[in-house]
Amino acid sequence: MTSFSTVGYKNINVASGLIGYYYGCDEWTLQYSLDGVNFVNVSSLTTINTSSITPIGGILPVEAEGKAKIYLRWFPNVNGPKHGSAIDVTATVLSNITVKADEVLVTDAIAPVLQSTLPAAAATTVGASGNIILTYDEKVKLGTGTVTFNGKVLTPEFINKTVKFSYFGLEYDKQYTFNLPAGLVTDLSGNTAAALDLSFKTMEKPVPAKRVFNLIVDANATVDQIASGKYVKTIAEAFTAAPANSSTRFLVLITNGTYNLGGDGTNPQGIVLQLPVGKNNVSLIAQSKDVIFQGNPGWGIKNAVLSIEANDLYMENITIEHKDGITTSGQRPALNPAGDRNVYNGIRLRSKQDTQVTGEQRRRS
């Protein structure tokens, strides 16, 4: 047995299917009830198949329409013929249940009432871009009129009881008022919602937290800067300065320029520069996209310009290039990202062939 509401619907058509397996009754009837106790036939007595689904259903009478709850059941003729053997299990399968009906629009004379707004009235931390969402006490639709907010016409999006207006480009820390004209929102019967003036203030502009770098790489660093311990001139010196087995992040700022990591390109020379195992939690952050790491270790799949063996590296906006690999074909890798959980954000690799080679069994960068 099942139950459901029929409020707002008429011409309710119930369809289903039955198939008999093993042992069971051959004849079934679809029935309905208004109280769950007294049932009335919807279908005639139907003989079901044992090898295919037998349709069974019908249209509910008018008295079943507009009810908060009605009941359906599929009832066997226990005194009628049977299929299968009585020593078998009883198995009748009910499937393909669908209920179709025509919606009844109930005309009312009460206008929709606003229940809530997002943002709330007088809110002071509203985003400079976002949505204004109005929720009413009944389903609503578009009426007439337009909404202009911050000099732009907003297109409303109606979903059930809500209407959403998307906006963008507001100024930070400024007071705004959203004006909804009467008649733009109506209920399904055409009753118009009242006008709305929703005032709120946008949030203060977020200020990113300043990053304090542990070390700055600058090829033009002065003697005094180097003596301060905060500057080095080469990437190799930065790798040497990075602490081993650190649990906190070591932030390195790399100023604009091209940094020669080494190699003369004559014979395979192995990896030019390596951030070794244990030098974890290092961040290499370029001043801009004008930072280039260049090396020339020669030909060979194992001869990368840069190899990252450490874990949890973060590298941002750096170009890594194999000097001969830019113009000459052959195995000339720029990067070997061999560590675990490493992040390469905005990295540019330059070489004609095998630009990146993943080291050994560690393939999770």
- Give 21-68 pLDDT, tens digit per residue: 899 999 999 999 999 999 999 999 999 999 999 999 999 999 999 999
In this structure, the answer to whether residues 179 and 223 fall within a common structural domain is: no
Predicted local confidence at residue 300, as pLDDT: 82
- Give domain status of residue 209, yes or no: no
- Same domain assignment for residues 12 and 86: yes
Kindly calculate the radius of gyration of the chain based on its CA atoms and give it in whole angstroms.
37
Interval 275-289 mean pLDDT: 94
pLDDT of residue 362 exceeding 60, the answer is no
The pLDDT, as a whole number, for residue 358 is 75
Position 364 scores a pLDDT of 46
Task: Report residue 147 CA to chain centroid gap.
Answer: 29
- Residues 14, 50: one domain? yes
Is pLDDT of 361 > 70? no
pLDDT band at residue 113 under the 50/70/90 scheme: very high
Domain range for 32: 2-103
Choose between 175 and 266: higher pLDDT: 175
pLDDT above 90 coverage of the chain, percent: 77
Mean pLDDT along residues 259-274: 78
Indicate which CATH number applies to the domain containing 309.
2.160.20.10
Q: Are residues 69 and 135 in the same domain?
A: no
| Same domain, yes or no: 232 and 281 | yes
Which single residue is written with the structure tokens 């009335």? 40
DSSP 206-272: P-PPPP--SEEE-TT--HHHHHTTSEESSHHHHHHHSPTT-SS-EEEEE-SEEEEEE--SSS----S
In a domain, 48, yes or no: yes
In-domain check, residue 360: no
Half-sphere exposure of 336 (CA within 13 A, CB side): 27
Structurally, how many domains does the chain consist of?
A: 3
**Which of these, 89, 99, 91, 87, lies nearest to 2 by C-alpha position?**
99
Map tokens 């007294």 to a residue: 38
pLDDT of residue 69: 96
> Which pLDDT score is estimated for 270?
64
Secondary structure letter of residue 166 according to DSSP: E
pLDDT at 206: 87
Instruction: Check whether 363 has a pLDDT greater than 50.
Output: no
Confidence label for 208 from pLDDT (cuts 50, 70 and 90): confident
Q: Please tell me whether residues 18 and 65 are part of one structural domain.
A: yes
Give per-residue pLDDT as tens, 122-162. 999 999 999 999 999 999 999 999 999 999 999 999 999 99
In 3D, which of 199, 208, 194 has the Cα closest to residue 178? 199
Confidence band, pLDDT 50/70/90 cuts, at residue 360? low
Q: What is the pLDDT of residues 225-247, one digit of tens each?
A: 999 999 999 999 999 999 999 99
Q: Which residues of 195-214 are buried (b: 16+ CB within 10 A; e: fewer)?
A: ebebebbbeeeeeeeeeeeb
Residues 194 and 295 in one domain: no
Tokens representing 218?
A: 């600058």
Q: Is the pLDDT at 98 greater than 90, yes or no?
A: yes
What pLDDT sits at residue 265? 75
pLDDT given at position 33: 97
Q: CB of 283 within 8 A of CB of 309?
A: no
Q: Are 298 and 269 in contact (CB under 8 A)?
A: yes
Q: pLDDT at position 89, please?
A: 84
Task: Tell me if 358 is assigned to some domain.
Answer: no
pLDDT number for residue 271: 67
